[in-house]
Every structure is written in structure tokens, then in C-alpha cells.
Amino acid sequence: MDHRPQAWGRPRDDVYGAYDASYLHSNTPKTATQSPVVTGTSVVGLKFADGVVIAADNLASYGSLARFTDVKRLRVFLDSSVVGFGGDVSDMQYLDRHLNELAIDEAYDHLTPDSSASKTASLNAANLYKYLQKLMYARRNDFDPLWNQILVAGLDGAQKPFLGSVDLRGTSFTSPSLATGYGAMLAQPIMRRVAATEEDAARLTREQAVDVVKECMKVLFYRDARSLDRYSIAVVTKDGIELKEDEQLEKQSWAFAERIRGYGTQTV
């Protein structure tokens, strides 16, 4: 009989065999996203006098296959900011869950004694942008990036319109107008025509800004093969967020296609 205390209560090797500890160390190497799989295309955002407009279509592509046609890529944070995701959809969903947790923690922290969450003291869009930048940068440092480019739209600490972008390497920047993916080539020139500077953007009305963004979505649908004519659009102002998640592109004209070889019925 073994009376040593370290043997107490343990299964005996001669009866049960040695403990198989192999499951404790996995043999497979650590995995990380090496390239995006199911992807969302452009997100576009534009500031105006007292808010920000942001839009993204509802398509998630699997390579060139239009795989999921009802995916919402705009997400509301704490009823005060909107985050738009381009890039890998599973990473987007991970971030969505993560932001949910963050929002819950933040809401708990700001419960006032009369048990109503005070609206003034919580994470604004500028804070959220900074946080996401830190998150994305930390993941790139681990060589395990979240394969997204993100736009954050809302208001900053001074209640001024805020629009910022963060990508999978943690590169972050702000601008009166922003667009991810193909939007950077196709939509940015259109938006910069009306909002080249912050001052220009501050003169735009809400209606003008929405019209320009809708125009951008149309151009993107015409020219970006991985896009869809159903999209989400959100307007963020002091008064809150108006998010529409199932918009249809209006007033499309394919007349230009008549003159392009390869579109439609070929007559020559």
C-alpha cells in the first residue's frame, strides 16, 4: 500500500493504466485567419452638418458567389454610434458579439442611482473608434488579424459629427468622407466632390448627404461585381439613429450598358 499523501485518491496506474494527458496539448498548430472567406464589400460614410450617413449593401459573397443576400453589415452601438463592416463576415460577427459585451458593461457602469442609464456618460463614436483600433492592432501583432475594414460613424465628445476607419492592421484615420474596398476607388471621388474638406461637409444638409451616399451605392452596384441592389443605410445625429436595413436601389439606369460591348444582347 502506498501511503504517500500525493497518491491519495488517485487511480492506480497498474489498475487503470497511466493517465492519458495527450488531450491537454493539442497537436494541431495554432490557427489564424490567413485570408477572408465569406466577405462583404464596400462600406461608405459621409459627414454632414449635424451628423453622419453610412451605408453598406446586404450581400455576403463566397468568392465570386453571391452567397448570402440578406446580411446586415451596419451595427448600432449604444444607440449612439453605427459601425459598418467590410471584409470577412465571420470576423464581423465575432466583433459584433464583442461589441455587445462592451456595450452591456458600459451600460452597467453608467447606471445612475435612480437606475436609469445616463446618456451623457458613455462611450461615444470617437471612443469606440479608438477602442477598435487598439483591438485590431493587438490582433495584427499576434498575427491573428480580424480581416475587416471598419467604419465608425457617430458623434465625438464635443457632439460634433465623427467618421473614422480602422483596418485589419490597425491603421486608422478620419476624414469628411470614407469608403472601404472598391468604395475607396469608386465612391470616394463622388463624395469628395461635395465634401472635399471638413468645412464643405459641415455645409451639407442631411438630404444632400443621403442623396450622395445613395448615388454612391448605385455606382458601386453598377461597377462592383460583388455588390447588391439591396442595402442598409443609417443616419446618425444628436437625436439618435435612423437605420433602414432593407433599402432597394432606386432609379437605376442601364442605358449606358447599351453602348458597352459585353453587356446585354449583342447586336454586332
Residues in touch with other proteins (CB under 8 A): 32-35, 109-110, 112-113, 118, 120-123, 126-127, 130-131, 133-134, 137, 140-141, 143, 145, 157-158, 165, 169-175, 184-185, 188, 196-198
User: Do 40 and 59 form a contact (C-beta atoms < 8 A)?
Assistant: yes
Residue with smaller CB distance to other proteins, 226 or 228: 226
How many Cα atoms occupy the beta-carbon half-sphere of 250 within 13 Å? 7
Q: Give the nearest distance from C-beta 221 to other proteins in angstroms.
A: 21
Q: In sequence order, which residues have a C-beta less than 8 Å from that of residue 190 and are 6 or more positions away?
A: 212, 215, 216, 219
Q: Give the separation between CA 184 and CA 72, rounded to whole angstroms.
A: 20
Catalytic residue among 28, 31, 33, 180: 33
Strand-pair category, 65-68 with 81-88: unpaired
Q: Which residues pair with 65 in a beta bridge?
A: 62
69 is catalytic: no
Q: Which stretches within 182-243 are classed as H helix?
A: 183-186, 188-194, 198-203, 206-223
Toward other proteins, which CB reaches closer, 200 or 247?
Answer: 200
Please say which residue, 71 or 135, places its beta carbon nearer to other proteins. 135
Q: Which is nearer to other proteins, 48 or 147 (CB)?
A: 147
CB-count exposure of residue 157 (10 Å: 0-12, 13-18, 19+): exposed
Least separation in angstroms between residue 124's CB and other proteins is 8
Question: Any bridge partners for residue 161, and if so which?
Answer: 155
Task: Give the shortest CB-96-to-other proteins separation in angstroms.
Answer: 19
Least distance from other proteins to the Cβ atom of residue 54, Å: 17
- Could you list the active site residues? 33
